Each structure stands twice: as structure tokens, then as C-alpha cells.
Amino acid sequence: MINNNDLLLFAKASLNTFTFSHLNICKEKAIFFLKDEISANINELNLPKVKDKRHEYFKIDGSCSNDYTEKILSLGTGKKVIYGIRHFGGNRDFPFVHFQPNFSLSSKEEVVYVYQKVKAEFEMFCPLYVNFWSNIQLEGTSLGCVYMVSTSKNMQELPPWNKEKQISFEDICDHSYYDWYKKGYDAFHCDFPKLKDRVTVNDLDTMRTSLDQGLLKFVIYKGERIGLIAAEKSSFLDHPGIYFNEIYIEKKLKGQGLAKAIQRKFVTLFTKNSFIWGTIDAQNLPSYKTALTNARTPIRYECFVKIN
């Protein structure tokens, strides 16, 4: 469906959606990583069984499996866009169209112009937004997730936070913790229902990866179990990386500055010569601020353009 030359152009454009001024990244390695990622993603989404599964799951009236096909739009002069339907957080009531261009989308108006070319293909979904990645937040867009990145070295060189001496970690050896963890999120979503689709509980498979790698730990504070932290070994653009899946703290201890101390101490004890990264929802301000205070920098933005 997509040839090697086109893949290379899409990968180069994707790399330009990151800002690397402060990071030592081998761009050649990153481009080949993104090339493989784009190819794997489009091939997987276009598998008949995947399209059938999405169609059966969302049950959108008037749709069929082929409506979930990832396609390529040619705009002339070499400009192309990979596009397809998505549902935010798996919510059938929040459909949007994802764009991956082989050029930089530079304005809201340009995004709307491109969408008009494919609008008729998505009428049955009634999409609310178009989304794409950018190295800045474009005017007139709202933000979804933000890539927050640092290095283990940079974080370890920060002065320890005041409460780090009272924090320790305990290995998690099985999945008996999961109900406790999920109940904490259920309570959070009761308090903040608007964040239910944006700040989500991790599924068991995600947490299992952290467990298998020895990077899922209970957090102990003043001798009491107060939360957990989960990370996994995950390449950052084909460079050694640790991806943060979760820092969960029980409600009674939130807002005391513990998250930044937990994260920095975890990095100090359990990581070495790695990029420290993760995607944080822009509306999850506590997590965003925790990342900033621990020298993690926003380098990539998920932009949403409302299309009524």
C-alpha cells in the first residue's frame, strides 16, 4: 500500500514533529525507527481481522469494516496524508480523524482544508475533531497528549526532594494489587468525571509488562504503603528508554509533592543511561507539573482541530 520512498518521507515529517534542541538524538536511527513504526501501524490497522474487530466493537450505524481502513490522500506536489478514523480513549461518542502527513501542517485552516477532501468518507462517524502531531501547539487547536522527555542522568543530577529519604519501594510479585489500584481510579473518576476518558486506568496487560521487567513497585512512605509506580523498558526513537506508565498515590496523600520525589528516586535507583519519557494528557496538570519539575521537557504535542 505504501512504498519505501513514501515511508521515508512520512518518517522524516514525523521526526519534525519532535523538538530535540536539548537531547542527543541520532536522527538517522530515529528516522528508520519511525519508518518501521509507521509501516507496522498502517499494516496492522488494515488487517481484515482488526477492521472487523473495530467495527464490531464500536457498532456505528451505517458503517462497515472497510470504513476503518487507513488510506493515503495525495494533495499534489508530493504532499500526502495517511488518514483514518479513531475514537478517543475507545469512546464511541468521541470520534475523530487522525492525520499523518509527509509535510508539516502549519495552521488550523490547512488542517480543515485537507479534511474537506475526505469529509464524505466519515459522515457515518460524525467526527468531532481532526488530530495530528506537531512540535508546537498550533493556534486554534486544543491539546491531547504531550511527550515529556528527559534523561536518567539529568534527573539523577537534580537535588533530592525533601521527602525522598522517607520513600522506599517494595517489589510487586503478582497481580493481587490490581483491584486496589483500579478502585483508586474509580474514586478519582467519580470526583473528576470529565477526566474519565483522558486520565485512564492502565489495563492489566500494560501493568504486566512493568511487572515482568521488575519495574512495578509499591511506594512506601513513612513505613506505609501509599501507592505504586510502573515503568517499562521502551525504546525512545530507537534509543534506550524507560517509559512511565503510572505514578499512583492514594487520595489522602495527593497534593503533598510526593509524586516528583517518587519519580526522581525511582529513576535514581532503577535506571541508567536511558531516556526517561512518557505521554501526559495536557489536562492532567498534576502529572504535567511533576514531569516539568523533574527536568522532563515537552517536545511533541497532540493537536486537535474542532470540525463541528
What per-residue confidence (pLDDT) applies to 209?
A: 95
**Rounded to whole angstroms, how far apart are CA atoms 165 and 207?**
26
Q: What is the DSSP letter of 169?
A: E
Range with the poorest average pLDDT among 132-146, 180-194, 205-219, 230-244 = 180-194
Range with the poorest average pLDDT among 118-122, 125-129, 180-184 = 180-184
Answer whether residue 197 shows pLDDT above 80.
Answer: no
Q: DSSP for 185-251? A: HHHHHHH-GGGTTTS-PPPHHHHHHHHHTT-EEEEEETTEEEEEEEEEE--BTTB-EEEEEEEEE-G
**Rounded to whole angstroms, how far apart are CA atoms 204 and 11?**
31
Mean pLDDT taken over the chain? 94
Say which residues have a Cβ less than 8 Å from residue 166's Cβ, sequence separation at least 6: 221, 222
Write out pLDDT tens, residues 227-264.
999 999 999 999 999 999 999 999 888 888 899 999 99
Answer whether residue 198 shows pLDDT above 90.
Answer: no
- Cβ atoms 167, 265 nearer than 8 A: yes
**Rounded to whole angstroms, how far apart are CA atoms 193 and 3?**
44
- Cβ atoms 16, 104 nearer than 8 A: yes
Mean pLDDT of 270-293: 92
Fold classification of 148-299 is: Aminopeptidase (3.40.630)
152 confidence band (pLDDT: 50, 70, 90): very high
What per-residue confidence (pLDDT) applies to 45?
A: 97
Domain boundaries of the chain, sorted by first residue: 4-135, 148-299
Percent of the chain with pLDDT over 90: 84
